[in-house]
Amino acid sequence: MTRVLTGIKPTGDLHLGNYVGAIQHILRMAEDTSQEIFFFVADYHALNTVKDAKQLRESTKRIIAAYLAFGLDPEKITLYRQSDVPEIFEITTILNAVTPKGLMNRAHAYKAAVDQNAAQGKVGEEADIGVNMGLYNYPILMTADILALNAELVPVGKDQAQHLEFARDIGGRFNHAFGETFKLPQGFISEEGAVIPGLDGRKMSKSYDNTIPLFSTASELKKLVMKKIITDTAPPEAKKDPEESTIYQLYKVFAQPEQVAEMKAGFEQGGLGYGTAKKQLLEALENHLAGPREKYEALLQQPEVLDEIMRKGAEKARAVATPMLKKVRQAIGAD
């Protein structure tokens, strides 16, 4: 059994891009029975930016409900909330002691914050304005997430590749100082292939404000697809390059292969107008999303069900993290 672990930060609502990039990915992995999967919501990572208890609590539950709504089976995948596993934070403190400060100075997210300050003329003592220690230590907490569960494989997006290198580096330093204790995790970096276009044709991303939320109501979804997806002004009879069309790119992900082939032909040969294509896309999206939407809304009305799933998940995660912490404490002489 290969132990696989990944996490998601609960910030903001999920959109179609998250579905293609992360949700589908984990559901596919769950089909592989040679893997034991741990999946958690990194609420203490979100704390660096979220300073509102209600928001943190709710966005955590929304993520859990979303994955369940798309069919994640909590009996097969251990689903838990980071803050429910205190061993992670004790291991974080211990890892602090073997992590060079200089390594953290090189972290992309931290450097980006410093560069942004510099661009506004804030240098020297002001260079770190807006950076809390949680952001600075983010990679150490992420390392502890992974090492506490002794994970072997960590699937993440490209933006997390450096964090994975740090995890291996920090784990290696601990092992070097105190003897072989942690397995060093392998990253499984998914390529940009999973990127889908947003309403304006650029990569779907919250930072571009071009997303289609995963759980929009049917009427919101209709409005977004019919009114907000940007197209050029080619008339229906014109031949169009499907690969240039946001409608087609999204259709490819959500429609059946024959339907996709049909839209492709309609664009290439001419005769398929954008309005008609949008209707087809909307139908494909509705087919795909209506069921999960209903399940999601129902789950949010049953907080006790979500709580019970999180409780069980934490129990399973702690069954691994507790002996791991014991081993670590022994290694350092805190037993």
Binding site for ligand TRP (CB under 6 A): 5-9, 42, 45, 142, 145-146, 154, 156, 160, 163
- State the maximum Cα–Cα separation within the chain, in Å, rounded to a whole number: 76
Closest contact distance (angstroms) between CB of 314 and ligand TRP is: 16
Closest contact distance (angstroms) between CB of 204 and ligand TRP is: 16
| Lateral strand order in the sheet of 35-41 | 77-81, 35-41, 2-8, 153-157, 186-190
Q: Rounded CA gap, 226 and 38, in Å?
A: 39
**CB nearer ligand TRP, residue 42 or residue 68:** 42
Angle at which helices 257-269 and 246-254 cross, to 10°: 160
Closest contact distance (angstroms) between CB of 137 and ligand TRP is: 12
**CB nearer ligand TRP, residue 156 or residue 281:** 156
Closest contact distance (angstroms) between CB of 115 and ligand TRP is: 19
Closest contact distance (angstroms) between CB of 199 and ligand TRP is: 23
Closest contact distance (angstroms) between CB of 247 and ligand TRP is: 29
**CB nearer ligand TRP, residue 188 or residue 260:** 188
**CB nearer ligand TRP, residue 4 or residue 212:** 4
**CB nearer ligand TRP, residue 42 or residue 212:** 42
Separation in Å, CA 182 to CA 172, 249, 286: 8, 42, 46
The residue of the chain with the least Cβ separation from ligand TRP equals 7
Residue 163 CA from chain centroid, whole number: 14
**CB nearer ligand TRP, residue 162 or residue 259:** 162
Residue 195: which of 246, 161, 263, 142 has the closest Cα?
246
Closest contact distance (angstroms) between CB of 266 and ligand TRP is: 38
Who's near 313: CB < 8 A, 6+ residues apart? 40, 74, 78, 79, 80, 81, 84
**CB nearer ligand TRP, residue 41 or residue 300:** 41
